[in-house]
Amino acid sequence: MATQDTRVALVTGGSGGIGRAVVRRLAADGFAVAVHYAGNADRAEQVAQEVVASGGRAITVTGDVADEHAMAAAFDAVEAAFGGIDVVVNTAGIMVLGPVETFDLDAFDRMHRTNVRGTFVVSQQAARRLRRGGALVNVSTSQTRAQHPTYGAYVSTKAAVEGLTLILARELRGRDVTVNTVAPGPVATPLFFEDKDEETVARLAGLVPLERLGEPDDVAETVAFLAGPARWVNGQVLFANGGLA
């Protein structure tokens, strides 16, 4: 069990590209970390073992983020292992692209279940359980502002995340808990590369004034800022995108 002075973080989607970088970054800051996964237990365990091998503390927890009972059990497991929760980082999400006119509604529903209901369920648990001085960090996308074609269905889920975040920050008045969203630009993760050819990837990278894709560590650095020293940043959407307009 973590000591009373140790801060504790739960990272949903913690075995994925951005999630894994966030786990590593928070562990480097001294957090005890719970690595959440939905389907890949081996990969989540590998991430946790990397933290332990580096001298940190980590466990894995599982569950569908959209299932309130599963996520309550996951939060219970973190509290049982470490004594409480100070930071929740909600990186779990899926992305399917396509024009609105022909978009498959089953894919639309799947995205909304994970990205909207899942974020709501996790945020609800965080609102109930985060200790004073805690932080909830949700994840959106810079496409809510860039508004490129084929992102309509995906952006509809992330715009909901942003709206939820801004209201929850105000509902938690007096709790000393911050609620913010990070909105990454194009980041080199498996989720980003899915269904994109080399020409599309190069074009998106070229839209960024820094002329490169972001790395998961770039986003993790922003998350660490919100999870730790950024106590005066609350109810905000931070665009971590290298200047993408």
Encoded tokens for 35: 């690595």
Encoded tokens for 12: 């949903």
Q: Which residues are catalytic?
A: 154
Do residues 9 and 32 make contact, with C-beta atoms less than 8 angstroms apart? Answer: yes
Q: Which residues have a Cβ under 8 Å from the Cβ of 144 and sit 6 or more positions away?
A: 155, 158, 159, 162, 183, 237
Q: Which residues have a Cβ under 8 Å from the Cβ of 106 and sit 6 or more positions away?
A: none
Give the count of alpha carbons within 13 A of 218, CB side only: 18
Do residues 230 and 133 make contact, with C-beta atoms less than 8 angstroms apart? Answer: no
